Structure 1
């Protein structure tokens, strides 16, 4: 595990953390029982198997 050699100031830590940004989930088109919807890629199989329902 990496160990810091010097103490990092609170301002420096917070400015580093503020640069982190979440990215939007990539959506894929899924057609279930004639209804089409854009869903996150990680949930596509759950929609196809019927574990999740497509809402209007």
Structure 2
């Protein structure tokens, strides 16, 4: 198993971790209700996607 021979300096550690940033989620407007939604997903407010209406417009993320 590989083990580092020397301690990595703070500047090297921090410069390596500088690339861990995240990007903001892109949002588009729903053509039916003009609410903001993620592209390629059904609208959470009206439940339409690609001109079709889906009966249940629920969010699947966990609450809490």
Q: TM-score range by the shorter chain?
A: 0.3 to 0.5
Q: TM-score, normalised by structure 2?
A: 0.43
Higher helix proportion (structure 1 or 2): 1
Which structure has more relative contact order (CA 8 Å, sep 6+)? It is 1
